[in-house]
Amino acid sequence: MPKIVDHDQRRSEIVEAFLTVVARAGLAAATSRAIAAELGIGTGALWHYFDGFDEVAAGAYRRITERTNDRIAVATAGLRGLDAVYAMLREILPLTKETLDEAHVVVGFWGRLAANATIEEKQTDLGEYWGGLLRRHFAEAVADGELDPSIPVADVLDVLFAICIGQQVNAVMASPMVDPGRQLAMIDHCLRPWRR
């Protein structure tokens, strides 16, 4: 069994090297050659661990999901209600260098997915996980008198998710909509009708 552990660890190192190169030099620079150089191995060695670049991109997408969920756990620790909602969305929206870099990797992956339906993806599960967290924090916000109990939570969640996804693309397009204040204003706008 130790060989399997090594295999998984090497795959993880390759994905981390990919994200390191992206953070330093951008997605365009994160070629298989650059990833191999980052690890001090030959380019061909990458393909002992991945069947192609689509698989590396999918691994990076999953790793970004894990990172985001780790950041959400830290950022929302001890918070409830709307404070927790905003803390969570601030880790998902592309507001910083880190999350803007992630947006490029994520949109790059979605582009590969558009052209290759056989790539594994877990976005639906992510929606369920984030949806569960947000439902809990909305319920706290209602209980604490921050939100009106009439808030249509399912509709608000759909709109918030669509915004979070759309803003990844806006980050890549360097749209004026990626201005951090404007991004948070969209969230404010969606919640305002039910604020107390």
Query: DSSP character for 79?
Result: -
Nearer to a copy of itself, 133 or 151 (CB): 151
From the CB of 60, what's the least distance to a copy of itself, in Å?
Answer: 12
Binding region for a copy of itself (CB under 8 A): 26-28, 103-105, 107-117, 121, 123-124, 127, 152, 155-156, 158-159, 161-170, 172-173, 175-177, 182, 185-186, 189-190, 193
Nearer to a copy of itself, 111 or 145 (CB): 111
Rounded to an integer, what distance in angstroms lies between the CA atom of residue 181 and that of residue 196? 22
DSSP class per residue in 138-192: HHHHHHTTSB-TT--HHHHHHHHHHHHHHHHHHHHTT-GGG-HHHHHHHHHHHHG
From the CB of 5, what's the least distance to a copy of itself, in Å?
Answer: 31
Rounded to an integer, what distance in angstroms lies between the CA atom of residue 66 and that of residue 61? 9
86, burial (CB in 10 Å: exposed 0-12, middle 13-18, buried 19+): middle
Nearer to a copy of itself, 7 or 33 (CB): 33
Q: Are 170 and 100 in contact (CB under 8 A)?
A: no
From the CB of 138, what's the least distance to a copy of itself, in Å?
Answer: 15
Nearer to a copy of itself, 50 or 110 (CB): 110
From the CB of 35, what's the least distance to a copy of itself, in Å?
Answer: 14
